[in-house]
Structure 1
């Protein structure tokens, strides 16, 4: 087994089809099938289930896929570090939840370009649950993730905390109120992310702790769509203040801090150091995340956050 076989296998799993994987690898499908068969024979296990709709990894295949991701990435890092000499450079994959990416991604890009032009950022934006999954699989070097509290955990650096706000115009609460009680939202129609989102889990727990059930009328895994639906007046959503502060009509949206209880969450930079030591490039980008977050908070460009 060599690194090329692992790259082939990763491409097949990502593609879900030998035909599509062969096209991406610029080889014939029979040649790629032979390579995978050779890998299975070498390991003595079946790695893929073949079917009319493509291929899916077996349990052994999923285990190999996870470890192969880490090995291939580490191999590429070693090669890059040898070639780079004293200059900090190379790819750094960073996962950002959507509500964080809105603020952080442009500032981090500019900071990295100015301070470490040799670093090639790979920014992944998605719901927090999927970002966590990518970090666990070894697909990311760093991830900014939500936490229920500000407890310091291994391989994590606390970044900031923030409260959640009701976005929209619920009735009957007073339209001019800056705050709203959680109990007053028990029959307010809400659009929130689906079950893989930390935000959804936090909302569900907050309501359950008060013996309430949120009136969720739709699962919407898009920040922009949630805000537009709230602006339309047929439902509300729950988001951090920074998600809507740049909206031209954010005051008309009806932005109210939820209280009794306040719903807060902490945000941390998570490093995949349990899989391999941090490279200089990863450490530099982690520093950049902290620096630009503090700069934006000091300048009032990231409303609603409290620095760790």
Structure 2
């Protein structure tokens, strides 16, 4: 089966439109429609649903889409490795970094390390609140991702990197009971306006579970996914948030916001490196993975990141 025909199918699904895909691929729309019809004939399944708003995949189309993503990436990798021969490692390696985890803190150091050690590798770094990184890794659209959680999950494997405790980041002027170690009891946070991620976020799930287990009800006034907006809202005294120290320390502003440890209970979450089980790694992705694991474990063991501990 022609790999280009399969890649054209992926483009149709990505764009949600046969005509837009035809324009992008520089193919006449009737010709692209014929290619789609040929695929449906070959698989004996309807692959897309056409409507006035565009096209969406059927169940069979979604399955094919997932497999073609893997095949296409493997084809691209084969081209790179065959062309490379015995020379230095080259190619593109894509890494997803959860914005509310220590992963995003590691991004600059990882980029520096790869540029110094492996200049032939192009590192693609992405931080997104909308994407479910485990699914992107499973389908081969990402080579790896640093995410909260430790699995298990079908189609991906997890390497534990560290455990992160969460802290309260509050406006500097906020008066809240705290001990000599700047630790706040969770029960004293219930009446404070909180700005938190949406419910699908791992940080939010950990926050909600901590309040539920203590029989408490938080005062959530907004769901925010933009760190710059969150930073500004806290400086203006609109509310507070609960984050890992690695993230809270990046958006805290001296004299305008303040970080407190949380106690009773301590809220924490595992941070892991997620890689696909079914998509073989390239030499380039293995090299990046090894350096990322080294950086994360050095960070967890350095004692320079409060509330960050190596996994056992």
2:139 is aligned with 1:124: no
Mapped partners of 1:109, 1:203: distance in 2: 31
SS at match of 1:75: helix
2:110 corresponds to which residue? Answer: 108
Q: Residue deviations 1:38-90, cap 9 Å, x none?
A: 11111111111111111111111111111111111112112221121123221
Contact 1:194 1:221 in 2 (8 A): yes
Task: Report the secondary structure of 1:155's partner residue.
Answer: strand
Q: Is the 8 A contact 1:103 1:302 kept in 2?
A: no
> What is the CA–CA distance in structure 2 between the aligned matches of 1:131 and 1:90, rounded to whole Å?
21
* Map of 1:85 onto structure 2: 85
Alpha carbons of 1:284 and 1:109: their partners in 2 closer, same or farther (altered >3 Å)?
Answer: same
- For 2:145, the equivalent position in structure 1 comes to 143
Secondary structure, counterpart of 1:98 in structure 2: coil
Q: Which residue of 2 aligns with 1:258?
A: 262
Question: Whole-Å Cα distance in 2 between the matches of residues 149 and 85 of structure 1?
Answer: 36
Please give the TM-score of this superposition, normalised by the length of structure 2.
0.89
Separation in structure 2 between the aligned mates of residue 24 and residue 228 of structure 1, nearest angstrom: 40
CA distance in 2 between counterparts of 1:160 and 1:303 reads 12
1:208 equivalenced with 2:212 (yes/no): yes
Q: Note if contact 1:22-1:28 (Cα within 8 Å) is conserved in structure 2.
A: yes
**Which residue pairs with 2:8 in the alignment?**
8
What are the Cα deviations for residues 12-55 of structure 1, in whole angstroms up to 9, with x where unaligned? 11111112212221222222122111111111111111111111
The offset of 1:298, in angstroms, is 6.6
Task: Could you tell me which runs of 5 or more consecutive residues in structure 1 were left unpaired when the two chains were aligned.
Answer: none
C-alpha displacement at 1:161, in angstroms? 1.5
What residue in structure 2 maps to residue 163 of structure 1? 165
What is the aligned counterpart of 2:308 among 296, 305, 308?
A: 305
The yes-or-no answer on 1:282 pairing with 2:285 is yes
Determine helix, strand or coil for the equivalent of 2:5. Answer: helix
Pick which of 52-61 and 139-148 moved more: 139-148
Aligned to 2:59: 59
Cα contact 2:252–2:259 (8 A) shared by 1: no
| Structure 2 residue aligned with 1:220 | 224
State TM-score, norm by structure 1.
Answer: 0.90
Distance 2:165 2:151 in 1: 12
Q: CA deviation at 1:148?
A: 6.2
Shift of 1:264: 0.8
1:87-121 deviation digits (Å, cap 9, x = unpaired):
32212111111133542111111111111112121
2: CA distance between counterparts of 1:126 and 1:225?
15
Say whether the 8 Å CA contact 1:129–1:198 is kept in structure 2.
no
In angstroms, what is the RMSD of aligned CA positions? 2.5
Alpha carbons of structure 1 residues 17 and 303: separation in structure 2 relative to 1, 3 Å: farther
Residues 110-136 of structure 1, C-alpha deviation per residue, up to 9 Å, x if partnerless?
Answer: 111111112121222113862222123
Could you say if the C-alpha distance between residues 135 and 5 of structure 1 is closer, same or farther in structure 2, counting changes exceeding 3 Å? same
